[in-house]
Amino acid sequence: MRELAQYLVEAVAEQVDAVKIEETTDEYGTLILTASVSEEDMGRLIGKGGKTVRAIRQLLRIRAIRDNVRVHFELKDQ
């Protein structure tokens, strides 16, 4: 799951070296993926009206359904 998130975020970001994905699990077993990117790429990752980040979340949810896990994708503030 982390690899898919890394791939999707790197596809959007211009500064690929600054992309980092942290993977944790909460007490309910939900997989939490936290993406941190450069400040310049933050707006690009969010997209106009949040469309890009919503699309990334939807793709991750589809993969999570197939893998029978719960996933939450969030952006880390700089």
Q: Which domains does the chain have, with CATH numbers?
A: 2-75 (3.30.300.20)
Dump pLDDT digits (tens) for 4-32: 999 999 999 999 999 999 999 999 999 99
Interatomic CA distance for residues 15 and 58, integer angstroms: 23
CA–CA separation, 41 and 45 (whole Å): 6
Q: Tell me if residue 78 falls in helix, strand or coil.
A: coil
The pLDDT tens digits for 20-71 are 999 999 999 999 999 999 999 999 999 999 999 999 999 999 999 999 999 9
The whole-angstrom separation of Cα 57 and Cα 65 is 12
Q: Is the pTM of this model over 0.85?
A: yes
